[in-house]
Structure 1
């Protein structure tokens, strides 16, 4: 039984969909529980995966209401666990993991907590920060996407048991709604970025870096795919920098693979990352990558000098512009790096990642 807040667009949500489909194929009985209703779903579950909705999503106006909602979430999830008796309960991300551990207290199922971002980058309330410290030692295992996150967890919560299992890159990639046609390039070249329009993704820095290069590379355009609260600020920045004819923000697209395939270079400008699904996807499609060397994530995917570059220091406009310009100026380098980038299909293959999960599931089931 996988528990996640919703199936709205996002990396952890996509992983929940992919894991549930993979385990179903392996013969497991799989269910997925969300707090949010189906009307916000961006992902479709594989036929055969049971879906349950707690109907407990939404923000709280005050502390009393928050306590009431958390109690309701706990009660409804515990009732589901008692009814369906899963052997393994998996919480996707911090709040769902804490909820699972508390809901399963005293019941025979084993709980696996997961972290899908690097914890220092999260904006959690003191309540959830304290709850993570209190509950994670009770989990059968805590799964981190990167060694950096695992090290952080073991330093902050020494008594919890941590494993590192990265996300798989699903290849070939599938398309879903909304399908947004890729505009004809008409001989121009495209720099692509994908992610939530959120400050942590560093798109403000990317726009400044690209603006400094436009006069030197008049044949290049920048596309930023994704949606989020920062859209008005980014659109204003595009206008202030005079980039209206060179930068586009098409929003969230379900056929992102088409955009990867029709681009020349991928850039990840994040200030912090967990393990970037978009970076894996772009490289699997054969795009060379330029990424900031965050504390975790890109350094565990990119092989510098082989299939991409890691930019230091993080959020430095000039450093990012310098590395982008090197690739933009040399088509042969982009081609060579792009060919080697596709190795992530094997390095992060679903078969390899599912084998790691299978080993973990078997270990948890054997524990008293």
Structure 2
């Protein structure tokens, strides 16, 4: 049975953290699962497998602790979530497969984060596989980064429809019955952060409330903008119209109380709360933020087809991103609140979609990626760091640009005895005074030399098989 590591900062709240916990539960049925987190005591979400701490200790960094735990637990496959942990997963790889999960649209990340993260994203091409949570993120990732030959697949997040519907019938943690009495209720659930744009939503709601006195807005969430949002509600004199509730483990009773779900994010991965709203048949108005909403609310995803004004979709209404100079979001809310027939059609389509939404299918997709990557890795050598390569007898396979780049990284530190090529056609003879020859002329070094592949990934499997047939023992990919 394979040993699978899942690396995440914590299980203390957030979409990626929730997916990591759910994935560990599903994979535990088939593998030995080890969850590596900074603080094992923070567990908002259920999880499977064994939880261990990788928090920095006296004399040991997080990176060193990850490396130690990978070796100690003989990890075969390491799956990581979120940018910083993805980078650590790649940097601590040895012989295990590295699969990274991308939950955000790279091109939409604010500039102040872009500067910090761009260096980490460049390492993504050294992963064995990348899983995104939506087709939009997959498209954006491929077109934003040089991914080399790394395969990328989209797997939607887990959603426990039956559990959501059951929890919806429980009593809410806060009694808002009096606040929403005789009202049409708009619900927003999410972290209070700039990305989620609750301030823009409040502004749009304020315009709606001027026309319709019976509307109320309930926001459920905690986060860095809590005080700023409270101040904004007061500035807009909407204290009797907007109710701000803290994060709670079971927000689903509030879904039952609402008439419309309002999603206001500027950018997203998928949008777990959209799946939750659809599970209970709560009609949705959502900003069209490239990845996530447009895939869930409609049956087709098209790149660069951003909605202008608003679009009525099969499972909700998509609206252009919230701006102060237009009222499209207000019009969409108004349409869904007061068009009973449209609201019923969308609610029914949402329920049908979620009835067919299969967690088992998501798990099979993950298992297929793990097993296929393992099969592929059987015939492709692992990537090596500089320290992994012995100082003596190094052969660089490839005399083109990549082979020369490998040489530039190695020549000061290793004893390079030659460049190897598949045939003599176009052979330059030497590179920087080092001979270039067909690989068969290096047979005497099969047991003593390390062959570093200095060519495109697409050729690795073919050359690796050839080297193994010739008897070479130590073969690695360039780092």
**TM-score, length-normalised on structure 2?**
0.69
CA contact (8 A) 2:185 2:258 kept: yes
Match of 1:244 in 2: 239
User: Cα deviations across residues 84-136 of structure 1 (Å, max 9, x unaligned)?
Assistant: 112210011111111111111x32x1110111111234353645321221x21
Whether 1:140 aligns to 2:128 is yes
* Displacement of 1:214: 1.1
Aligned length: 349
Whether 1:209 aligns to 2:218 is no
Whether 1:270 aligns to 2:265 is yes
Larger radius of gyration: 2
- Comparing both chains, which one has the higher relative contact order based on Cα–Cα distances under 8 Å and sequence gaps of 6 or more? 1
Q: What is the SS of the residue equivalent to 1:163?
A: strand
1:151-230 equivalences under 5 Å are 151-155=139-143, 156-159=145-148, 160-173=150-163, 180-184=173-177, 185-230=180-225
User: Cα deviations across residues 51-93 of structure 1 (Å, max 9, x unaligned)?
Assistant: 0111239xxxxxxxxxx99x71111101101111122100111
The separation in 2 between residues aligned to 1:163 and 1:219, in whole angstroms, is 45
CA contact (8 A) 1:293 1:314 kept: no
**Distance change (3 Å), C-alpha of 1:249 and 1:302:** same
Match of 2:226 in 1: 231
CA contact (8 A) 1:179 1:253 kept: no
**Distance change (3 Å), C-alpha of 1:311 and 1:245:** same
1:64-83 equivalences under 5 Å are 72-83=61-72
Match of 2:454 in 1: none
Find the partner of 2:30 among 22, 27, 31: 27
Find the partner of 1:45 among 39, 44, 47: 47
Match of 2:277 in 1: 282
Q: What is the SS of the residue equivalent to 2:156?
A: coil
Alignment gaps of 5+ in structure 1: 58-67
The separation in 1 between residues aligned to 2:83 and 2:365, in whole angstroms, is 21
The separation in 1 between residues aligned to 2:356 and 2:75, in whole angstroms, is 31
CA contact (8 A) 2:138 2:152 kept: yes
Whether 1:310 aligns to 2:318 is yes
Whether 1:336 aligns to 2:331 is no
The separation in 2 between residues aligned to 1:348 and 1:223, in whole angstroms, is 27
Q: What is the SS of the residue equivalent to 2:45?
A: coil
User: Cα deviations across residues 165-219 of structure 1 (Å, max 9, x unaligned)?
Assistant: 111222223559x962352243322110011111111111111111111133222
The worse-fitting range, judged by mean Cα deviation, of 248-257 and 117-126 is: 117-126
The separation in 2 between residues aligned to 1:38 and 1:340, in whole angstroms, is 40
Find the partner of 1:94 among 62, 83, 100: 83
Q: What is the SS of the residue equivalent to 2:98?
A: strand
* Displacement of 1:313: 4.4
The separation in 2 between residues aligned to 1:151 and 1:170, in whole angstroms, is 27
* Displacement of 1:347: 5.1
**Distance change (3 Å), C-alpha of 1:347 and 1:273:** farther
**Distance change (3 Å), C-alpha of 1:16 and 1:258:** same
* Displacement of 1:44: 3.2
* Displacement of 1:302: 0.5
The separation in 2 between residues aligned to 1:4 and 1:180, in whole angstroms, is 28
The separation in 2 between residues aligned to 1:125 and 1:319, in whole angstroms, is 30
Match of 2:399 in 1: none
CA contact (8 A) 1:78 1:103 kept: yes
